């Protein structure tokens, strides 16, 4: 870029030319400054957001974020000068915490601690003391898991007459008992213990290998992994039947999370989750009223990608409601999509984090307004679907209309690349899906059902970190599905899986009686 010489020329034309150059340079600098000034707020937002993610709370629930369910009706704009401190004396009664009694069905051992016979004499008069009562207290004793060997002996019988005359030897022996894994030392209880330890309590196989060593039993992780693969094959009938029933439900929640598989062509694979119903069984007896409540089903599906084809293959033309986040792959299904208000709120929470400290803005208004919608959901939680629909139309619909009007207006007032601009843009893009829950009482305001369902897998992944092969990942999907479906139907996973393995080893023609809502473990001798 040419510079102005130290000695100015006497020629007027040359001076004019230098002046034009100087003006152009000044204009270029002003343009650069203006561009940097526009970029500065965005970069500052990104810095604050990164700082918050690195050092701030991981949860959205904090005292200054206007919690979803503890919503304040309006933002306070009072300054410190306006607030007048008052002195008041607080009195309260401290409630002493009371320990819950231990379950009555636990085995009990009574130990009597009596005084010596010589002490059962009055120190004053020497008379004999009589019992006037007793003090009792309970302690909880832990007995480590016991392991035993079951030896199966099958006597053989032959005919001595045939042996002597050489007419043939007909040996009779009882058939071997059905086992989940033929010719294996593993019983259904042992397999259930390994399954629940890893897929319910996130204990990797190598740690289980070490625990067995403490009992003097050599079980390599390779053997344990092979057992898991064979158990998943046996439980596949249950998984497939649950899949068929899940596609018959009116509403399905879906989500996905990454999974690293070592021996897989793609570096990033995914575990998808599809769930229906609720997190716990309804009050109705599902066996007696099968058509009233939706089925509580949680199924995982391993795929080597995150493409829309994965969803389409799993749903197989499903045309009901599919409640998801804003991921575009779900748009290519035949389902009617329902949005997630929690995801929309999360965008505004991120925008709130990058605001100047101590100041409120548009993000606060949006979070507060969404909180009002959640307050309605809390109040109508116990209502029937028909009642929910009517109450949402009455109370939530006006709030949604206010929110939409505010979004349209605010979109014209904020930079589109700012955090608040991105939050507003996301809500506007998802708006038809976000408000769909108002039209049907069976729908939820958010997709937290799926996010809660996928959390056990995410917790387990932190411990075992990766899957070795795609077969192992598929087996994990089946075993996680059985464990989580048992939990959502009020069953103890260990007992349920043991029952399944015992029954499936007999190769029954029908498995309807083995579905989680048809099993009563209290009636089964485990």
Interacting residues of 16 by C-beta distance below 8 A, sequence separation 6+: none
- Quote the pLDDT of residue 96: 65
pLDDT in tens, 101-143: 888 878 888 888 888 888 888 888 888 888 888 888 888 887 7
Answer whether residue 52 shows pLDDT above 80. Answer: no
Closest C-alpha to 304, from 352, 337, 266 = 266
Residue 335 phi, psi dihedral angles, 5° rounding: -80, 160
pLDDT, the chain, mean: 83
Answer whether residue 21 shows pLDDT above 50. Answer: yes
- Quote the pLDDT of residue 226: 94
In degrees to the nearest 10, what's the CA dihedral of 24, 26, 27, 30? Answer: 160
In the block, residue with structure tokens 């294996």: 184
- Quote the pLDDT of residue 72: 33
Answer whether residue 66 shows pLDDT above 50. Answer: no
Copy the structure tokens of residue 134: 């007793």
Ordered by start, the domain boundaries in the chain are 187-339+447-526, 341-444
Q: Which segment of 9-23, 25-39, 63-77, 153-167 scores lowest on mean pLDDT?
A: 63-77
- Quote the pLDDT of residue 452: 92
pLDDT in tens, 195-251: 999 999 999 999 999 999 988 899 999 999 999 999 999 999 999 999 999 999 999
Q: Given phi > 0 = left and psi -120 to 50 = alpha, else beta, which region is 260? A: beta
Closest C-alpha to 275, from 212, 325, 343, 322 = 322
Residue 431 phi, psi dihedral angles, 5° rounding: -55, -50
Average the pLDDT over 156-168 and give the result.
Answer: 78
301 with 314: CB under 8 angstroms? yes
Rounded CA gap, 419 and 42, in Å?
8
In degrees to the nearest 10, what's the CA dihedral of 487, 492, 496, 497? Answer: 80
Copy the structure tokens of residue 241: 């039947």
Strands 251-259 and 269-276: antiparallel
Name the pLDDT band for 43 (thresholds 50, 70, 90): low
491 with 521: CB under 8 angstroms? yes
Decide: helix, strand or coil at residue 116. coil
Rounded CA gap, 516 and 317, in Å?
26
- Quote the pLDDT of residue 317: 85
Answer whether residue 325 shows pLDDT above 70. Answer: yes
Answer whether residue 283 shows pLDDT above 80. Answer: no
Entry pTM = 0.77
- Quote the pLDDT of residue 337: 95
Q: What H or E segment, with its residue span, contains residue 275?
A: strand 269-276
Rounded CA gap, 155 and 192, in Å?
30
458 with 486: CB under 8 angstroms? no
Q: How far is CA 449 from CA 192, 273, 277, 299, 459, in A?
A: 26, 10, 9, 13, 16
- Quote the pLDDT of residue 75: 36
Other beta carbons within 10 angstroms of residue 128's beta carbon come to 7
Rounded CA gap, 378 and 89, in Å?
34
In the block, residue with structure tokens 């803005």: 361
Closest C-alpha to 350, from 52, 24, 31, 37 = 52
Strands 336-338 and 321-323: parallel
- What number of residues does the chain have? 526
Q: Estimate the crossing angle of helix 448-464 against helix 470-488, to 10 degrees.
A: 130
Q: Which segment of 69-73, 210-214, 259-263 scores lowest on mean pLDDT?
A: 69-73
490 with 281: CB under 8 angstroms? yes
């Amino acid at each position: 870029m040419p510079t102005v010489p130290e000695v100015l020329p006497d020629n007027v034309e040359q001076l004019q030319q230098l002046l034009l150059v100087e003006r152009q340079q000044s204009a270029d600098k002003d343009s650069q400054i203006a561009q940097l000034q526009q970029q500065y707020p965005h970069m500052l937002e990104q810095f604050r957001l990164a700082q918050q993610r690195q050092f701030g709370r991981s949860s959205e629930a904090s005292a200054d974020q206007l919690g979803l369910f503890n919503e304040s009706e309006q933002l306070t704009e009072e300054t410190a000068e306006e607030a007048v401190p008052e002195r008041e004396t607080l009195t309260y009664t401290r409630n002493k915490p009371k320990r819950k009694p231990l379950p009555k069905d636990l085995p009990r051992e009574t130990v009597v601690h009596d005084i010596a016979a010589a002490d059962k004499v009055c120190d004053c008069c020497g008379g004999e003391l009589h019992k006037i009562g007793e003090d009792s207290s309970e302690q909880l004793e832990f007995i480590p898991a016991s392991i035993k060997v079951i030896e199966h002996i099958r006597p053989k019988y032959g005919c001595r007459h045939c042996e002597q005359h050489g007419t043939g030897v007909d040996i009779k022996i009882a058939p071997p008992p059905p086992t989940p894994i033929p010719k294996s030392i593993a019983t259904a209880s042992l397999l259930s213990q390994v399954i629940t330890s890893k897929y319910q309590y996130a204990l990797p196989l190598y740690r289980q290998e070490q625990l067995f060593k403490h009992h003097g039993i050599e079980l390599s992780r390779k053997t344990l992994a092979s057992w898991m693969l064979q158990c998943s094959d046996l439980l596949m009938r249950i998984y497939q039947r649950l899949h068929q029933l899940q596609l018959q439900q009116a509403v399905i929640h879906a989500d996905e999370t990454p999974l690293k598989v070592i021996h897989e062509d793609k570096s990033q694979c995914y575990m998808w989750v599809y769930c229906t119903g609720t997190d716990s069984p309804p009050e109705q007896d599902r066996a007696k009223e099968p058509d009233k409540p939706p089925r509580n089903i949680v199924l995982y599906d391993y795929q080597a990608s995150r493409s829309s084809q994965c969803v389409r293959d799993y749903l197989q033309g499903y045309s009901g409601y599919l409640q998801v986040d804003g991921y575009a792959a779900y748009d290519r299904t035949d389902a009617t999509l329902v949005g997630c208000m929690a995801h929309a709120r999360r965008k505004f929470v991120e925008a709130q984090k990058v605001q100047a400290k101590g100041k409120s803005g548009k993000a606060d208004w949006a979070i507060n307004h969404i909180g009002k919608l959640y307050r309605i959901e809390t109040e109508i939680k116990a209502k029937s679907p028909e009642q929910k629909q009517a109450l949402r139309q009455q109370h939530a619909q006006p709030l949604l209309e206010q929110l939409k009007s505010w979004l349209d207006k605010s979109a014209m007032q904020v930079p589109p690349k700012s955090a608040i601009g991105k939050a507003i843009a996301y809500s506007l893009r998802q708006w038809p899906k976000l408000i769909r829950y108002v039209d049907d009482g069976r729908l939820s305001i958010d997709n937290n059902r799926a996010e809660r369902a996928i959390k056990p897998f995410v917790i387990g992944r932190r411990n075992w970190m990766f899957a070795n092969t795609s077969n192992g990942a598929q087996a994990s999907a089946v075993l996680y599905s059985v464990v989580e479906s048992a939990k959502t139907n009020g069953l103890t996973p260990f007992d349920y899986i043991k029952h399944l393995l015992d029954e499936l080893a007999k190769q029954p023609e029908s498995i309807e009686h083995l579905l989680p809502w048809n099993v009563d473990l209290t009636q089964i001798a485990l």
